[in-house]
Amino acid sequence: MSITQFILVSVVKIVLATGGLLTAVAYTVWLERKLVGHIQNRWGPTRVGPFGLLQPLADGLKFIFKEDLTPPHVHKPLYIAAPMIALVCALTSIALIPVGGWVRVAGLSTPLEITEVNIGLLVILGLASLGVYGVALAGWSSNNKYSLLGGLRASAQMVSYEIALGLSLVGVLILAGSFNLREIVDAQSGTFWGFIPRWNIFRWPSQIVGFLVYLTAAYAETNRLPFDLPEAETELVAGYHTEYSSMKFAMFFMAEYANMITVACLASLLFLGGWHGPVAGPAIVQAVLPVFWFGLRVFAFLFLYIWIRGTLPRFRYDQLMAFGWKFLLPVATANLIITALIVALRS
């Protein structure tokens, strides 16, 4: 297709993806409040709209109208830049996530992702690494001992668990032979013995271990319970976002939930078979149905995230770091070695 058609299609995809991601972030907040409420034997938000479905709208309006005050003692350039860094890195990851196969619209065929990059998985890991700056700089620029401690702890935690996260994914990469997310999903098409789908989570003895390591490392990367000590209110007066109010706090909030959604999308793509599922019907339904199956997997992962948030208590910081370095890292390395051995012996 010509360059103007390409730009037009890309702009449409960007608008749809960003709008979809922001709506998903807002409604993940709603889902969390409802689910955690029901786990704790109470209703979540029920007043605003049916089942509290307009609650995110009310929250957004509240954030916009709240006073955005900048304390006088902060280091201003970094104080303002830190939430932006966090949000930019969180929102950019959606550009690399494929949500479906190729579609034909008005004679143009395009893949259902904003860019198809050969090293897509590495770029997502790189964006996760850059997201640490938002947290570290927020903690330091707030000029406040609770924020500094929270920022230091959060960035140390994120850097430590990035290693286990990356290593748990290398098993999947060995099986698929490529960093391209679309190729990894395509390698999971088909079934074992006719009825078990060929998802990576069912392959070999060790990919389930890889999935569990990825799950745990993802909880730590996104600073969620049981690893949310750096932002826990009872521990550090809200940690690195103590001094932030209104829209800047909303940016951190959105960045955290966008990270959650990115991690859930990655898990669906790498371990749960992407968008594969029964497809039937006319062409338009066949194009949209994979997206639906993908969304179902992401929803299941987010449900698991929120379920664990409502159930488990918090790790203490030294327990957290010991767990990441002394348990997860060896387990991820063992998973990698076993997967590599099996693949090498088979070929």
Sign of CA dihedral 306, 312, 318, 323: negative
Residue pair 219/226 in contact (Cβ under 8 Å)? The answer is yes
Query: Shortest distance, CB of residue 77 to another protein, whole angstroms?
Result: 8
CB atoms inside a 10 Å sphere around CB 201? 18
**Which of 93, 155, 207, 242 contacts another protein by CB under 8 A?**
155
> Is residue 240 close enough to count as binding another protein by CB under 8 A?
no
> Is residue 148 close enough to count as binding another protein by CB under 8 A?
yes
Residue pair 300/31 in contact (Cβ under 8 Å)? The answer is no
Query: Shortest distance, CB of residue 299 to another protein, whole angstroms?
Result: 29
> Looking at 60-68, 92-100, 102-110, 144-152, which segment touches another protein (CB under 8 A)?
144-152
Query: Shortest distance, CB of residue 129 to another protein, whole angstroms?
Result: 3
Residue with Cβ nearer another protein (81 or 215): 81
Token digits of residue 148: 């500094």
**Which of 23, 70, 118, 319 contacts another protein by CB under 8 A?**
118
- How many residues interact with another protein (rule CB under 8 A)? 26
Show contacts with another protein in window 67-106 (CB under 8 A): 78
| Residues paired with residue 104 on neighbouring β-strands, in sequence order | 109
Residue from 279, 282, 277, 315 nearest 298 by CA: 277
> Looking at 129-137, 220-228, 237-245, 315-323, which segment touches another protein (CB under 8 A)?
129-137
**Which of 179, 199, 252, 305 contacts another protein by CB under 8 A?**
179
At CA 320, angle to CA 318 and CA 326, rounded to 5?
90
Token digits of residue 155: 């960035």
> Is residue 126 close enough to count as binding another protein by CB under 8 A?
yes
CA distances from 183 to 118, 139, 175 (A): 9, 39, 11
> Is residue 177 close enough to count as binding another protein by CB under 8 A?
yes
Residue from 127, 120, 128 nearest 97 by CA: 120
Residue pair 17/9 in contact (Cβ under 8 Å)? The answer is no
> Is residue 151 close enough to count as binding another protein by CB under 8 A?
yes
> Is residue 330 close enough to count as binding another protein by CB under 8 A?
no
> Is residue 136 close enough to count as binding another protein by CB under 8 A?
yes
> Looking at 53-61, 65-73, 116-124, 182-190, which segment touches another protein (CB under 8 A)?
116-124
Query: Shortest distance, CB of residue 137 to another protein, whole angstroms?
Result: 7
CB atoms inside a 10 Å sphere around CB 19? 10
**Which of 14, 26, 58, 152 contacts another protein by CB under 8 A?**
152
Residue with Cβ nearer another protein (32 or 113): 113
**Which of 9, 22, 103, 156 contacts another protein by CB under 8 A?**
156
> Is residue 172 close enough to count as binding another protein by CB under 8 A?
no
Residue from 34, 16, 22, 167 nearest 99 by CA: 16
Query: Shortest distance, CB of residue 122 to another protein, whole angstroms?
Result: 4
Distance CA 83, CA 141 (A): 11
Residue from 263, 297, 323 nearest 97 by CA: 263
* φ and ψ of 187, to 5 deg: -70, -10
Could you tell me which residues come within 8 angstroms of residue 116 by beta carbon, excluding any fewer than 6 positions away? Answer: 98, 180, 182
> Is residue 161 close enough to count as binding another protein by CB under 8 A?
no
Can you give the binding site for another protein, defined by CB under 8 A?
78, 118-119, 122-123, 125-126, 128-130, 132-133, 136-137, 139-140, 148, 151-152, 155-156, 159, 162, 177-179
